[in-house]
Amino acid sequence: MGILDGLNERQQEAVTTTEGRVRVVAGAGSGKTRALAHRYAYLVNNLGIDPSNILCVTFTNKAAKEMAQRISKLVDRGHYNDYVCTIHGFCVKVLRKEIYRIGFPRIFLIIDKDDSKQLAREVMQELGIEKKDTTINAFLNNVEFNKGLLKNEYVKKYMLSGYKPSEKDKEFPFIVFLQKQLKLFALDFQDLIYFTWYILDTFDEAREYWQNELNYIMVDEAQDCTNSEWYIVELLCKKYNNLFIVGDPDQLIYEWRGVALGSFMNFRHDHEVIMEENYRSTPNILDVANSVIVYNKNRIEKTLFTRHNPGKQVIHFHGNTQIEEAQWIVKQIKDIEHKLGAKNGDFAILYRASYLSRFIEEALMRDGLKYTIWGGIRFFERKEIKDSLSYIRLIALGDDLSFKRIVNVPSRKIGKVFLSRLSAIAEMEKVSLYDALKNHKNDDVFRKESVEKFIKLIEESREFSAISSISELLEYVLTGSGLKKELRDDGEEERLENIAELIDSIRYYEEVNKEEDITLETYLQDIALYTNADYKKDADTIKLMTIHQAKGLEFPFVFVIGLSEGILPNYRTIRERKKEGEEEERRLMYVAMTRAEKALFLTESEGFNVSTRTDKYPSRFIREIKKQFFVTEGSMDESLWKGTDQLIMSLEARENITESVFEEGDIVTHAIFGQGTVIEVNAERKSCKVSFENFERNILFLHLTKQTEETR
């Protein structure tokens, strides 16, 4: 079988155009991986190029592995070189050969996010930086920002020159962090790029070696390359100038990571191939995807098509509640499994943010459907959720498992010796660990301020539980324990969102069961039915994942859920990056829809939107789909679209408010609280602290009217 057999005209063109700078715009499902593998084989088998002179860069390790497997089946010699890898993987290969030039050992340490957090903690502790001043995540974000700002310059300036930092340095903590890395000969993923760039730029011999070595360079998912990665690729191909890039600007969803769309869009090329034939999806799915993405202005025009049968019409479902949305999804899955013989593994449920998985998880467990959180943890198995539930379980039941889990959450400096001695007493007196601690809190070994506060919190929470709802109790204990504050101080926004979602679910439970005599104990029993569900790791499971995690994957049946304005598109993204942010969110929607092979379902529901702090309304992206391309199920009032428009205008209005509208001493009016006086202005948050008649409140600018001489 020839290398070109089975390829369409555009794929053949991509494979056989071997010389010069070639840009391939490959739509979703157009067979770009197949084209890349066959091009590699064409270079080896037909042109006689040695595999050691070909670099094929992919975006993920998974993609690299798949590419290598395909190539190994095509090349005559039955092998391929190890230059089929990610850009970071290639940089490691360069550094292992060349890093000695800057005094590093060839076996250097590569550190991950957790390692970086530990280094950040050490730096903050050494410099006396308290969490109230900055979070660990914020500290690391600053490190990442400065590396990105300085690019490869920081390598020489702060790590190789013997630079002695002083506290007068503007970025003193950043420099201390770098030098702590240097002592360990440790590089993070950013460093791999910048150190490679620095070495290739600085040492002629190293640069010439790699330029001579790499006759042909191919870059997969090129739209996702950062400017720094582009620089390295362009530097490497200068001698032979054979650079082949494949990508799809419509699938660029990582601009927030520093990826530059313009690098692909403005790529100087000798030849261009546009691959529009889709082998994955039905015409009905592609019609929907095409009708949304055309609203983006910054793109290379193309229209996906397929020779498949039309397939099942795309369905949009509107639920009155998230529960109804989840139940409808479960029903569709069971119906498809029954009628078409589909398996659990044929289904994927995609969402913009991980907290949206909770209602789906509950519904799937209730019906005994196996599922897997792709690259993540089930909602009720997430640490912050288990910690939260353990607090209220300890309050209700006083059990040892809950005690062990949260006695040191947040940290109360309770170590193994402390717990060992406490366990011995509890065993001897035949009481729970908590009761043992309460009974012996004044013993020398247990006398701690943190212990006294912990016991006081639990006892006061038990008293509070008698007069409060379960949701109010959880709010009370999470605030009193300091857990919410710790997560906020550490910048753990996703974990805080998950806790907010848990509290919201409890409120829903209370509402549904308001006619029943519910107690804290009965709630814990009910929730245990979900948390104790026994699931084995099984490939034949429904996949739940964020849309970002779904990039590059495909499934027969896809549900894109939580399609509410403010969630997708994400309000924060649009707020920070305006039209660019909106276009990236639309690309994210496009990626989600083009994961589907046989059927696509788009769902959303009414309720409260945590992102916008308003009622939920359908996403603008659903309305952008031409009506003839989908059907709507569920009881949906068309007036909700007016709510979408009003919400969009409201959110835009919030961002258009200037920071100089109010000053201290201004008389203002609030629709609910009446007249008050501005006593403090927070321009960054676009809010004022206002003194009303008997109280103070922090109010967003949007909700205040300044009283002038004319209006008084």
At 535 the pLDDT is 46
Task: Measure the CA–CA gap between 682 and 664, rounded to whole angstroms.
Answer: 10
User: Which of the residues 595, 598, 616, 620 is marked catalytic?
Assistant: 595
The residue among 627, 631, 644, 641 whose CA lies nearest residue 602 is 631
Radius of gyration of the chain from Cα atoms? 29
The residue among 596, 601, 606, 592 whose CA lies nearest residue 631 is 601
For the beta carbon of residue 334, count every other beta carbon within 10 angstroms: 13
The yes-or-no answer on residue 221 being catalytic is yes
User: Which of the residues 10, 23, 32, 393 is marked catalytic?
Assistant: 32
Q: How far is CA 491 from CA 144, 256, 575, in A?
A: 15, 17, 19
Q: Are 699 and 690 in contact (CB under 8 A)?
A: yes
The CB-side HSE value for 134 (13 A sphere, CA atoms) comes to: 17
Q: How far is CA 390 from CA 327, 423, 534, in A?
A: 28, 19, 19
Sign of the Cα torsion 564, 565, 566, 567 reads positive
Task: Measure the CA–CA gap between 674 and 682, rounded to whole angstroms.
Answer: 20
Task: Measure the CA–CA gap between 57 and 670, rounded to whole angstroms.
Answer: 58
SS3 204: helix
Place of tokens 């549900």: 559
The residue among 608, 589, 687, 704 whose CA lies nearest residue 647 is 608
Q: Which residues pair with 591 in a beta bridge?
A: none
Q: What is the pLDDT of residues 582-632, one digit of tens each?
A: 999 999 999 999 999 999 999 999 998 877 778 899 999 999 999 999 999
Task: Measure the CA–CA gap between 253 and 553, rounded to whole angstroms.
Answer: 14
Q: Which residues pair with 85 in a beta bridge?
A: 57
Tell me the pTM. Answer: 0.76
Q: What is the pLDDT of residues 368-391, one digit of tens each?
A: 999 988 866 677 778 899 899 989
At 471 the pLDDT is 92
Alpha-carbon dihedral 473, 476, 479, 481, rounded to 10 degrees: -70
User: Which of the residues 58, 190, 223, 251 is marked catalytic?
Assistant: 251
The yes-or-no answer on residue 595 being catalytic is yes
Alpha-carbon dihedral 542, 545, 548, 551, rounded to 10 degrees: -10
Task: Measure the CA–CA gap between 417 and 445, rounded to whole angstroms.
Answer: 10
User: Which of the residues 13, 191, 220, 250 is marked catalytic?
Assistant: 220
Q: Which residues pair with 603 in a beta bridge?
A: 317
Task: Measure the CA–CA gap between 118 and 709, rounded to whole angstroms.
Answer: 57
Intervals of the chain under pLDDT 70:
1, 76-81, 131-133, 258, 375-377, 528-538, 653-660, 671, 708-712
For the beta carbon of residue 157, count every other beta carbon within 10 angstroms: 13
Task: Measure the CA–CA gap between 438 and 462, rounded to whole angstroms.
Answer: 14
Q: Are 216 and 55 in contact (CB under 8 A)?
A: yes
Q: Token pair of 438, please?
A: 């309460």
The residue among 94, 101, 30 whose CA lies nearest residue 57 is 94
What does the DSSP 8-state code read for residue 703?
G
At 657 the pLDDT is 52
Beta strands in 165-238 (DSSP E): 186-187, 216-219
Task: Measure the CA–CA gap between 261 and 250, rounded to whole angstroms.
Answer: 10
The yes-or-no answer on residue 220 being catalytic is yes
Place of tokens 């993987």: 89
